[in-house]
Structure 1
Amino acid sequence: MPPGRQARTREDAAPVIGPLLAAADLRASAEAWLTSLATERRLSDKTVEAYGRDLRQFLTFLRDHLGDPPAAADFADLRPTDIRAWLAARRGDGLAGPSLSRALAAIRSFTRFLEKTTGTRTTALTVVRGPKKRHALPKPLSRDAALRVIDAEEIDTGAAEPWIAARDAAVFALLYGCGLRISEALGLTRSEAPAPDTALRITGKGGKTRLVPVLPAVAEAIADYLRLCPYALAADGPLFVGARGGPLNPRLIQRAMARLRGALGLPDSATPHALRHSFATHLLMNGGDLRAIQELLGHASLSTTQVYTEIDENRLLEAYHAAHPRA
């Protein structure tokens, strides 16, 4: 046990977030923090789950590193070497740079909450830098490939029934034509099925609401699906359903895309989410305003949207080197 730390009895410890043992005060703070992430900051369930998992792993490390179940007071005694040892251990477990950065962000968030609610300050985190970000550019589809992906006739080759091919084409049309995330498309209800030249009101990450115009081709694809769908869809029920009439599982859309990759000779990067990247990239390449694209995608920060300008610049450089006589 590091010098200056006092051992605590087992009675002082209590389980926190699953099987992990920690002191009762830390358990209460952890649970309150996760609740605040979901209710006050309105982070998505998956983000809250990931942050909770990061904290659980950090506290597990502290239990082994310090020799006792950690308490809130231990956070004030943490040294930069403790934090670096944890980062090294997580990297040794195979955690990549982006996941390490997220884990460090989760711990920073928790320590800020701990300082705000209990006055316990963790100064060690102020001098520890996260791993350098290696920014991977999104990989959009080409214009022709994207148009083939949303073609029901192309999808029909791998679908069991025509209505399923029409359903998959309608989902892909929403991803590419409106820039939706797959969870946003599958979260639409029957009453929200758009008409041509209208707008969809989408609630995305963090509860952020945006209006997305609906192109006639997208509305037509959805209308074709509804015309062929054998089920009577309740107004407040899901717009897209599976073969048995229940809510459509996103894995089925991913499998449909996998079949198309093989049939159309597309790269492994051709995923449902790549259609959202294609939406943004193709708008930008055709003169779309970056701020408008940010709003359409529902990005909280313009810097998130700016990554698409790098794709455009790279393609311009590739065209220059391929075509210029002096390149």
Structure 2
Amino acid sequence: MITKVGKKYQLDFRPDGSKGKRVTRLFKLRADAVQFQQTYVSRLSETQAVQAIVDDRQLNDLIKLWFDFHGRSLKSAVDTRNRLFKLSELLGNPRAKFIDPELLAGYRTTRLNQGILPATLNRELITLKALFRELKRLSVIDYDSSVLTVRKLREAKRELSYLSLSQVERLRVQVDLTTNESLPFVVMICLVTGARWSEAEGLTVKNCINQGFQFVDTKNGNSRFVPVEESVFLYIKNRLVQGDFKSCYGAFRSAFKRAALVVPRGQLAHILRHTFASHFTMNGGNIIALQKILGHSSLNQTMKYAHLAPSYMVQALQFNPLSGSLNNPTTA
């Protein structure tokens, strides 16, 4: 709106609408006020068009920016970046701003039909959401992606599998037959400490202290110490004096197959960790101590083993409503 104020003309308008920024100027001539308003609106439109082009970048472009500005500082930086690129490839490297719930719903349906587990798709979603949140925080993008509104798929709760003592022996026989000399040592570390595979495989001689192992390159970044028997300590330390372990997960997978052992899909990497925790609990180990040994940040993570505790079994017998009354059961 242009109004006359004294001998001048006042321009007062909101180029972005009633809730947008207010612009006021005084001009000697009305024509100057009109010209200024037209020029301002034109340049604003050009700026918004440029911004729209910037926000029209493809997902791969944002993944690169995310990695450069933030991702490279993460513990699993390269792995996370590669998983994001793989997801982008499967989505067709779309324009990032236009990734919406409908696109992801179609993608997830296709992947589920291909046999991909909901847990895998949920991890992809969590990673993608984290990317958009971080880029918004860094002002790399100026919008809230609708990806953030997508919910995780429901996952069926799976009973954690573990090996019996006889199965452990069957596995160790095959492990000892492997040509990968690092494998028997890594398997033993996992079985006596409950370490994750990467933690055991990454153990070095300097981490062998006080008759135990100090795990430093852990999932949550917190180091932890686990004591072991002297014979085990010396066996592992004497090997590490000769050099670090070589990658041996592929050899483990082959040995597991030769032992004719089967675990639920997705649990092979942690089967030795689950075996340690399960037998620890069944033998009467304290659940709080187990939490510390496994390096769980929350006790809730460790409670999945609680049902294996002897006290749990005994109490099921002692405290059910018919306890002690079924010595001479009657029939109706």
Q: What TM-score, normalized to structure 2? A: 0.63
Map 1:45-64 onto structure 2 (within 5 A): 45-58=78-91, 60=93, 63=94
> Which of 144, 160, 170 does residue 138 from structure 1 map onto?
160
**Alpha-carbon deviations, 1:250-300, whole Å to 9, x = none?**
2223333434x24xxx54569573221111112222333333323322334
* Whole-angstrom distance in 2 between the partners of 1:220 and 1:36: 44
Specify the alignment match of 1:67 in structure 2.
Answer: none
* Whole-angstrom distance in 1 between the partners of 2:232 and 2:183: 12
* Whole-angstrom distance in 2 between the partners of 1:143 and 1:301: 28
Moved more, 109-118 or 173-182: 109-118
Q: CA deviation at 1:156?
A: 8.2
Q: What TM-score, normalized to structure 1? A: 0.64
Specify the alignment match of 1:200 in structure 2.
Answer: 214
**Alpha-carbon deviations, 1:220-244, whole Å to 9, x = none?**
4426x73xx9xx82xxx41x3xxxx
> Which of 266, 275, 278 does residue 275 from structure 2 map onto?
278
Q: CA deviation at 1:33?
A: 1.9
* Whole-angstrom distance in 1 between the partners of 2:186 and 2:77: 22
SS at match of 1:111: helix
* Whole-angstrom distance in 1 between the partners of 2:87 and 2:62: 15
Q: CA deviation at 1:24?
A: 4.0
Specify the alignment match of 1:180 in structure 2.
Answer: 195
Specify the alignment match of 1:43 in structure 2.
Answer: 76
SS at match of 2:224: strand
Aligned length, in residue pairs: 265
Assess if the C-alpha contact under 8 Å between 1:201 and 1:211 holds in 2: yes
In structure 2, the CA distance between the partners of 1:71 and 1:138, relative to structure 1 (3 Å rule), is closer
Between the two structures, name the one with larger relative contact order (CA 8 Å, sep ≥ 6): 1
Assess if the C-alpha contact under 8 Å between 2:56 and 2:96 holds in 1: yes
* Whole-angstrom distance in 2 between the partners of 1:133 and 1:312: 26
Assess if the C-alpha contact under 8 Å between 1:182 and 1:273 holds in 2: yes
* Whole-angstrom distance in 2 between the partners of 1:59 and 1:291: 47
Structure 1: unaligned runs, 5 residues or longer? 1-7, 14-21, 64-69, 241-246
One-letter code aligned to 1:293: L
Specify the alignment match of 1:253 in structure 2.
Answer: 252
In structure 2, the CA distance between the partners of 1:120 and 1:274, relative to structure 1 (3 Å rule), is same
Assess if the C-alpha contact under 8 Å between 1:168 and 1:256 holds in 2: no
Assess if the C-alpha contact under 8 Å between 2:136 and 2:143 holds in 1: yes
Assess if the C-alpha contact under 8 Å between 1:169 and 1:221 holds in 2: no
Q: CA deviation at 1:133?
A: 1.0
* Whole-angstrom distance in 1 between the partners of 2:122 and 2:236: 40
Assess if the C-alpha contact under 8 Å between 2:84 and 2:127 holds in 1: yes
Assess if the C-alpha contact under 8 Å between 2:161 and 2:274 holds in 1: yes
**Alpha-carbon deviations, 1:26-65, whole Å to 9, x = none?**
54432122345643443354344223322443353xx4xx
Higher Rg: 2
SS at match of 1:211: strand
* Whole-angstrom distance in 2 between the partners of 1:83 and 1:216: 53
SS at match of 1:140: coil
Map 1:1-327 onto structure 2 (within 5 A): 23-24=56-57, 27-35=60-68, 38-43=71-76, 45-58=78-91, 60=93, 63=94, 70-72=95-97, 74=98, 78=100, 80-116=101-137, 117=139, 118-123=141-146, 125-126=148-149, 128-146=150-168, 148=169, 154=173, 158-159=177-178, 164=181, 168-192=183-207, 194=208, 197-222=211-236, 226=239, 233=242, 237-238=243-244, 240=245, 247-259=246-258, 261-262=259-260, 266-267=261-262, 273-310=270-307, 316=313
Specify the alignment match of 2:28 in structure 1.
Answer: none
One-letter code aligned to 2:198: S
* Whole-angstrom distance in 1 between the partners of 2:112 and 2:269: 30
% identical equivalent positions = 23
- Alignment RMSD, CA only? 4.0
In structure 2, the CA distance between the partners of 1:86 and 1:268, relative to structure 1 (3 Å rule), is closer
* Whole-angstrom distance in 2 between the partners of 1:195 and 1:210: 12
Structure 2: unaligned runs, 5 residues or longer? 1-48, 318-323
In structure 2, the CA distance between the partners of 1:124 and 1:207, relative to structure 1 (3 Å rule), is closer
SS at match of 1:306: helix
